[in-house]
Chains A and B, each alone.
Chain A
Amino acid sequence: MEMTLLIGLDAASYILTLLLVCIGLVIIFGMMNVINLAHGEFFLLGAYTVVLLQQYALPFAVILVTAFVFVALIGLIIEELVIRRIYHRFLDTILATWGISLALKQLVIILFGPGSQPTVAPFAEPIAMFGITYSSYRLFIMGMAIVITATTFLILFRTRWGLTARGVIANRQMASCLGVNTRRVDRVTFAFGSGLAGLAGAIMAPLMSVDPQMGVGFLVPAFLSILVGGIASPLGAIWGASIIGGSNSVVAAIWTPVIAQIVVFSLAIVVIRLMPDGLAGRKKR
């Protein structure tokens, strides 16, 4: 019984972590049709913001907000310098963002060195419940993932800005003819998606080994998640993260994490092949 509960909690933790990483990715991919391979490095920058700011003993909440804003600004700059020139060249977005990812990662290595950096969790006491003990910070991460996903959905579906952004995606030229500054929407959307990646990195930092390679490990499962879920709607991220994260945790508990990864990735490829629009997906266009 305790074992099952523990596996369940681990699965939920991995699912929600993955969701946290995916949500920014699906906004940039699904809404802007840009495959952002630098997403892992945006995540990384968020984590290093924690490394840097914890030296000044700032409150953790302030650090999280700073990470979001800082990485959003980086996203804004990258959109202006690179991405806006290649919106109409879909495949090139993969290449360009991959180059950016390489450069950002190397920049971090130059500034901080290749080694792992220390971070402190703001709270770490295990919580005892239902006969098991579980890390309170993990529970905090799970809560944050839910809050951030819900907030993102509220912004997208309940605010004027969200309406405008969705309008631009649905019909860019018509939105423009109705008075929408589409360039500004692009900028803000990309910055928002980038900021979410930074926020995810900052939240995860105390739990992970913060080193320049930390973003890469999430990249493949995150992309597979949003493809399995379907990119036409941000809802796909929830589906995808649940399936990839859930099956991964369960298989890992039964066999080994490595087998889990191999099995889940292979299955994901099969799903993507059979359902290119994803599980939640209706065909785009």
Chain B
Amino acid sequence: MKSKYSRSLTVLFWAALAGAPLFLGGWNLGLLSQLMIYGIFAMSLAFIWGQGGLLCFGQSLFFGIGAYAMALTTKGMIPGVPAITLAGLVLAMILPALVAGLLGLALFKGRGLYGAYFGIVTLSAAVIAERLAINWSYIGGFNGILDVPPLRLEWGSWQIELYDPLLFFLVVLVAAFAAFLVLLKLERSAFGTVLRGIRDNETRAAFLGFETAEYKTVAFAVSGAVAGLAGALFAVQFAFVSPAILGFALATEVLIWVAIGGKTVLLAAFIGALAVKSVENVLSDTLGQYWLLVLGLLFVAAVVVLPRGLLAPFLNLSLPPALRRSEPLKKSTTT
């Protein structure tokens, strides 16, 4: 099921985001940047959950590692790593990818963990990480890290600090669009086809000769890297990281955005995050405490009645022609 307008809607949406600075002032641009950072985070989960079928209950782990990596690097707290933005961004993606990759190897190899077990184990991993961060004084312990410096572009002796909301917005926009394109490209490649094959029937995919553990691990690492990128931008925007962003609360919040938006479509998850968060900003004032009650019930309703999400049906892009025939799963699409 896909809407014939999904392509136009997708282009329109990104164009609207790019045009936002024409209409929004500094304060609102900052707000939108923040929403887009959550959106990047949501896409990272949508990729691993919607395409790989892996319900990760601890996605905040990678977001948090990215945020801490960024903060520690740019504050010069990692020995041997230059305290520059670029190093921070690179590390903020490599570290979570590494953690996800190792976790994936440990969990998927051989007679791997499936379904709910994976969810509970990742949730526990996030809880462990949060505890660890609270009790690790070098990285700030319970208080976290304050005064994370802003993004700084350097070219030889020329350098500029992106204090300006517009410049920061543009950086986030580029990051979001790049993450979207990279993940979309992966989805629409042979790799994505195999991944969906594993999601739909892992045994069959294994019988067809695919190393399913490797595919899942790579997908998990990619997802971790994207979540780390979101975390790094988050750290910069708030100039602050705390152990809470590693743990339970954020991990489950991102699940809601993605479930409500639609896990199988990247942009649906992205907009899901934007929508839930902005509705929250508006309604949490008027509804007060009732907002979370409403959100919880809305989430239950979405899961039960609309398992594909609210937005996914309108934004589902058709596969490239070369892959359309080979879906479902055919060996010929790889190798």
Give A residues with C-beta under 8 Å from B: 35, 82, 85-86, 89-92, 94-96, 98-104, 106-107, 109-110, 216, 220, 223-224, 227, 258-259, 261-262, 265-266, 268-269, 272-273, 276
Tell me the complex Cα distance, A72–B256, Å. 27
Q: Give 8 closest A-B pairs by Cβ, nearest first.
A: A103-B296, A102-B296, A99-B300, A99-B299, A106-B292, A106-B293, A96-B303, A95-B303
Contact flag A35-B289 (CB < 8 Å), given A95-B299, A99-B299, A102-B295: no
Main secondary structure of the interface of B (DSSP, over half): helix
Contact B307 A102 (CB under 8 A): no
List the A side residues contacting B48 at CB < 8 Å. none
Contact flag A92-B120 (CB < 8 Å), given A106-B296, A109-B289: no
Tell me the complex Cα distance, A98–B115, Å. 16
List the A side residues contacting B127 at CB < 8 Å. 220, 265
Could you say which of A89, A100, A109, A265 contacts B300, with CB atoms under 8 Å apart? A100
Q: Of residues B114, B125, B293, which shows the largest number of chain A Cβ atoms within 10 Å of its Cβ?
A: B293
Q: Within the complex, what minimum Cβ distance (angstroms) separates A26 from chain B?
A: 13
B221 at the A interface (CB under 8 A): no
Q: Within the complex, what minimum Cβ distance (angstroms) separates B248 from chain A?
A: 7
List the A side residues contacting B120 at CB < 8 Å. 35, 223-224, 227, 272
Contact B293 A103 (CB under 8 A): yes
Contact B293 A107 (CB under 8 A): yes
Contact A262 B131 (CB under 8 A): yes
List the A side residues contacting B289 at CB < 8 Å. 106, 109-110
20 chain-A/chain-B pairs, Cβ below 8 angstroms: A82-B304, A90-B116, A91-B55, A91-B116, A94-B57, A95-B303, A96-B304, A102-B292, A103-B293, A106-B289, A106-B290, A110-B289, A220-B127, A223-B120, A224-B124, A259-B135, A261-B128, A265-B127, A269-B124, A273-B106
B107 at the A interface (CB under 8 A): yes
Tell me the complex Cα distance, A258–B131, Å. 7
List the B side residues contacting A276 at CB < 8 Å. 111, 113-114, 117
Contact flag A86-B124 (CB < 8 Å), given A102-B292, A107-B293: no
Contact flag A86-B290 (CB < 8 Å), given A94-B55, A273-B121, A276-B111: no
Q: Within the complex, what minimum Cβ distance (angstroms) separates B321 from chain A?
A: 32
Q: Within the complex, what minimum Cβ distance (angstroms) separates B172 from chain A?
A: 28
Contact B303 A99 (CB under 8 A): yes
Q: Which residue of B lies closest to A266 (CB)?
A: B128
Contact flag A92-B307 (CB < 8 Å), given A99-B300, A216-B248, A224-B120: yes
Contact B300 A91 (CB under 8 A): no
> What 0/1 pattern do residues 242 to 281 of B give for CB contact below 8 A with A?
0000001000100110010000000000000000000000
Contact B252 A98 (CB under 8 A): yes
Contact B116 A35 (CB under 8 A): yes
Contact A262 B296 (CB under 8 A): no
Q: Within the complex, what minimum Cβ distance (angstroms) separates B255 from chain A?
A: 7
Could you say which of B125, B128, B135, B303 contacts A92, with CB atoms under 8 Å apart? B303
Q: Within the complex, what minimum Cβ distance (angstroms) separates A45 from chain B?
A: 15
Tell me the complex Cα distance, A231–B53, Å. 22
Q: Within the complex, what minimum Cβ distance (angstroms) separates A88 from chain B?
A: 11
Contact B296 A94 (CB under 8 A): no
List the A side residues contacting B87 at CB < 8 Å. none
Q: Which residue of A lies closest to B53 (CB)?
A: A91
Q: Within the complex, what minimum Cβ distance (angstroms) separates A256 from chain B?
A: 8
B146 at the A interface (CB under 8 A): no
List the A side residues contacting B113 at CB < 8 Å. 272-273, 276
Contact B117 A265 (CB under 8 A): no
B297 at the A interface (CB under 8 A): yes
List the A side residues contacting B12 at CB < 8 Å. none
Contact flag A96-B119 (CB < 8 Å), given A220-B127, A273-B106: no
Q: Which residue of B lies closest to A85 (CB)?
A: B304
Could you say which of B119, B132, B297 contacts A94, with CB atoms under 8 Å apart? B119
Q: Which residue of B lies closest to A224 (CB)?
A: B124
List the A side residues contacting B128 at CB < 8 Å. 261-262, 265-266
Contact B290 A110 (CB under 8 A): yes
List the A side residues contacting B107 at CB < 8 Å. 273
Q: Of residues B113, B114, B116, B119, which shows the largest number of chain A Cβ atoms within 10 Å of its Cβ?
A: B116
Contact A269 B125 (CB under 8 A): yes
